[in-house]
């Protein structure tokens, strides 16, 4: 009888120790499951921060097309974005980013006539002909803004977003370069 009690206690301690070690060395994914920091999910998140030119072009074209009716009074629209990170699951690549979209007219030069700048999450799927957007999400307005951001972004990207808020210098330079090229054509 004593042997059984000691065995049960020893097994419980071993299981508890293993669980505690897994939680210390792991990260919780979106489904609440603890995954090792070396897992495929975490590796793909870190390895895919830099998107291919094709992927970036698909993202920009999608956003330009989505806001085509809003910027109908402009001659040309452009979109640039900063990627905070990505993840991949079941062939879907989720991109966590900050987007700057603008509509321009030749007579107004670099002065943005219509547009927005905001955080967004976009999901891409690889098809035979390239990538397609399967979902696009922006934060809600007003009092729902912060809570919607928390639902959209993992904490590490949310922290990056908050640390960079209000700093659009690099995106502005990238936008100005695109518009300048168009104005010279």
More confident residue, 71 or 151: 151
Residues in Cβ contact with 88 at an 8 Å cutoff, skipping those fewer than 6 apart? 41, 44, 45, 48, 94
Cα separations in angstroms, 14 against 5, 10, 108, 128: 14, 6, 70, 49
> How far is residue 85's CA from residue 111's CA, in Å, rounded to a whole number?
30
pLDDT at 49: 54
> How far is residue 177's CA from residue 185's CA, in Å, rounded to a whole number?
13
pLDDT at 37: 33
Taking only the tens place, the pLDDT of each residue in 49-87 is 578 889 999 999 999 999 988 777 888 999 999 999 999
Q: Write out the DSSP string of 92-123.
A: EEEEEEEEEEEEE-GGGTT---EEEEEEEEEE
Computed over every residue of the chain, the mean pLDDT equals: 76
- Confirm if 124 and 130 have CB atoms less than 8 A apart: no
Enter the tokens of residue 155. 């904490």
Instruction: State the average pLDDT over residues 22-47.
Output: 37
Cα separations in angstroms, 58 against 13, 35, 36, 86: 52, 31, 32, 15
pLDDT at 93: 95
Statement: residue 42 has pLDDT above 50:
no
């Amino acid at each position: 009888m004593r042997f059984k009690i000691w065995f049960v206690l020893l097994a419980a301690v071993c299981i508890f120790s293993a669980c505690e070690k897994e939680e210390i060395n792991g990260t919780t994914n979106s489904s609440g499951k603890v995954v090792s920091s070396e897992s495929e999910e975490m590796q793909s998140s870190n390895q895919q921060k830099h998107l291919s030119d094709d992927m970036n072009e698909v993202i920009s074209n999608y956003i330009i097309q989505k806001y085509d009716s809003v910027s109908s009074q402009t001659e040309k629209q452009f979109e640039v974005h900063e990627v905070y990170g990505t993840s991949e699951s079941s062939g879907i690549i989720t991109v966590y980013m900050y987007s700057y979209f603008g509509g321009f007219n030749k007579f107004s030069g670099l002065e943005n006539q219509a547009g927005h700048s905001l955080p967004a999450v976009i999901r891409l799927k690889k098809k035979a002909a390239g990538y397609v957007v399967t979902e696009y999400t922006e934060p809600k307005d007003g009092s729902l803004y912060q809570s919607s951001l928390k639902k959209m972004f993992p904490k590490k990207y949310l922290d990056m977003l908050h640390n960079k808020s209000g700093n659009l210098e690099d995106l502005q330079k990238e936008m100005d370069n695109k518009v300048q090229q168009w104005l010279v054509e």
